[in-house]
Structure 1
Amino acid sequence: MRIDRSRSALRLTALSALLTAVLVPSLAMDQAGATAAAVSLPPAHAGFDYQIGGAYPPPAGVGVVSRDHTDAPAAGLYNICYVNAFQVQPGDEGDWDSDLLLHDANGKVVYDEDWGEALLDTSTAAKRQRIADKVDGWIDECATKGFQAIEPDNYDSYSRSKKLLTSGEAESYISLLSAHAHADGLAIAQKNTSELAGDRASTGLDFAIAEECGTYNECGDYTAAFGDHVIVIEYTAKGLKKACSGWGDELSIVRRDLDVSPAGSPEYVRQTC
């Protein structure tokens, strides 16, 4: 029987394309899952101290510390490295290309008014990649210093953008940071933004750091997505009481002063359940 080799080749090519379409995405998802699974998460319900306002010797009983990326990790503890990933530290606008700062229709830079921080413009894929390239450099420094995780702050900056940015853009951008953190062997936290917690699988986020979830009755939103891998920071006695009464046996909870002052400062406050 004569074989139509050209038709057979076409069938093989089509079959190969089909297998590629089915298997490659699955393989990529498996690899991403394996990478995320390989990172070390902060121990649940561990003593926690929030030191992003300046490093100091951790109090007794603390097993997990979050510090700014410019500081060194605390010896012998699980260390989370804080980076301001969606906004610019006050006065540091000149460190960024001007077009990466978010501008309104009048050409004025859009600020987080509470903290005086310019918002970064995550509205296009090209800009998201350029912003990520800079933040990835900080993530690399965190890994080199010996941190175990990343805390990328202001995930919710789109909500302060005068509707110029969207939650989808924020998720696309943080997915870039998640991939880079995992490649560096670091876990990555979802900071606040409870409304996006349900998307953690697609964004690659490993655990949560929630400010005032007790105060605003949001802790359950985070535990629904992250289980007991949730770290809670409260800033008032009332908020601490609510968080501790509802979640004190499950989550890491601390009260700090609003400026997260170093120990020894007049403003310093630290309390736990």
Structure 2
Amino acid sequence: MRRPLLAALLVLLLAGCTQGPDDKPGPRWQPRPGTAWQWQLSGRLDTSVDVPVYDIDGFDHSEATVARLHREDRKVICYLSTGAWEEFRPDAEKFPQAVLGRGNGWQGERWLDIRRIDVLEPLMAARMDMCRDKGFDAVEPDNMDGYRNDTGFPLTAADQLRYNRLIARLAHDRGLAVGLKNDLDQIPELAGDFDFAVNEQCAQYDECGALKPFVEAGKAVFHVEYEVPTGDFCAESRRLRLSSLLKKYELGAWRQAC
């Protein structure tokens, strides 16, 4: 009579260890203000930079790369473009022409009609699944301020808020932290929906003060300048508790940290 009892116990144990479809993901990673990081989106990945956070391209890197960084006690952010179409991505043909707008200034990229949530939600959900399945801890969704650009669509601030909150929810539903990329004007409305911020060139344009709501909420601001030397922005970055780097536009391995 022992075997049936043992088998039943084993089934119960396995059931307890398996996350069901209605179970919510566990606690998300929450990077704190001042956390050091590396942002590399091109070239051979240099894993020798001694920082606790790496932000790398989600499509270009494998589960094995993420696992290797984890073994070195690093958290890993999955870079994705969620507001613009990129012709060089493996899922590019899944985006219908009707949602493709004007170029966003980068070769092979076009703004997306973020009003078309019916089309974009399943496509972005699949990308979030990829980040989760590769073991990433968080997502950096790019091109999150189309409403302030010449996209070819009559996008409004309300359209952008709705879409950005959708992207945050898709990440959170998969247990991933998510960062708000730029979109400074909507930080007061969106800081509560996102776990950290990623900003480009706030020092150059004298906008870094707009990121205070994230820091005041105990959330990291990962910040990069391209044209301003570190001597001109690092003192202010330290005062504001930003995680600041000087990088080149191609976002290779080279960096200068504050």
Q: Provide TM-score, normalisation by structure 1.
A: 0.73
Q: Give the counterpart of 1:256 among 247, 251, 255.
A: 247
What residue in structure 2 maps to residue 190 of structure 1? 180
Larger % of helix: which? Answer: 1
The yes-or-no answer on 1:169 pairing with 2:166 is no
Larger mean Cα displacement after TM superposition, 79-88 or 47-56: 47-56
Aligned partner of residue 88 in structure 1, secondary structure: strand
Per the alignment, in what secondary structure is the counterpart of residue 86 of structure 2? coil
- 1:130 paired residue among 119, 124, 134: 119
Alpha-carbon distance, 1:114 to partner: 4.7
Is residue 112 of structure 1 aligned with residue 97 of structure 2?
no
Give the match for residue 243 of structure 1.
233
> How far did 1:101 drift?
1.5
Q: 1:163 to 1:132 in 2, by over 3 A?
A: closer
Contact 1:198 1:225 in 2 (8 A): no
How many Å apart are 1:112 and its aligned residue? 1.2
Q: Secondary structure at the match of 1:231?
A: strand
User: Residue 51 of structure 2: SS of its match in structure 1?
Assistant: coil
Question: Are residues 1:89 and 2:74 paired?
Answer: no
How big is the alpha-carbon RMSD for the aligned residues of Structure 1 and Structure 2?
2.3
Q: Distance in 1 between matches of 2:189 and 2:45?
A: 35
> CA distance change for structure 1 residues 142 and 213 in 2, over 3 Å: closer, same or farther?
same
- Distance of 1:69 and 1:219 partners within structure 2: 27
User: Which one of 30, 35, 41 corresponds to residue 52 of structure 1?
Assistant: 41
Q: Which amino acid aligns with 1:97?
A: P
Structure-2 residue corresponding to 1:26: none
Paired residue secondary structure (1:83): strand
Q: What secondary structure is seen at the aligned counterpart in 1 of 2:155?
A: coil
Residue 149 of structure 1: how far off its partner (Å): 0.8
Aligned to 2:54: 65
* Partner secondary structure for residue 213 of structure 1: coil
SS in 1 for 2:203: coil
Q: Distance between the aligned counterparts of 2:26 and 2:201, measured in 1?
A: 28
Say if 2:212 is the partner of 1:220: no
**Mapping of 1:145-184 within 5 angstroms?**
145-160=134-149, 161=151, 164-184=154-174
Q: Take 1:100 and 1:91, find their aligned partners in 2: how far apart are those partners?
A: 17
> Structure 2 regions of 5+ residues with no counterpart?
1-23
Deviation, 1:91, is 4.9
Counterpart code for 1:205: F
Q: CA deviation at 1:47?
A: 2.0
Question: Is the 8 Å Cα contact of residues 235 and 256 (structure 1) preserved in structure 2?
Answer: yes
Q: Is the 8 A contact 1:101 1:119 kept in 2?
A: yes
User: 1:112 corresponds to which letter in structure 2?
Assistant: N
Change (3 A) 1:205 1:256: same
> Does structure 1 retain, via aligned residues, the 8 Å contact 2:182–2:200?
yes
Unaligned ranges ≥5, structure 1: 1-34, 103-109, 264-268
Tell me the amino acid that sits aligned with residue 128 of structure 2: I
- Structure-2 separation of matches of 1:119 and 1:248: 34
* Aligned mates of 2:251, 2:36 — CA distance in 1: 17
Name the CA distance, whole Å, in 2 between partners of 1:50 and 1:99: 33
Secondary structure of 1:248's counterpart equals helix
Paired AA for residue 246 in structure 1: E
CA shift for structure 1 position 54:
4.2
Distance in 2 (alpha carbons) for counterparts of 1:156 and 1:177? 13
Q: Which aligned pairs between 1:1-12 and structure 2 lie closer than 5 A?
A: none
Per-residue deviation at 1:116? Answer: 4.6
Contact 1:86-1:157 at 8 Å conserved across structures: yes
Q: Answer 1 or 2: higher relative contact order, Cα 8 Å, separation at least 6.
A: 2
Distance (Å, rounded) in 1 between the aligned partners of 2:161 and 2:202:
21
Aligned length: 221
- For 1:188, what is the secondary structure of its paired residue? strand
What SS does the aligned partner of 1:46 have?
Answer: coil
Is 1:155–1:193's contact at 8 Å kept on the other side of the alignment?
A: yes
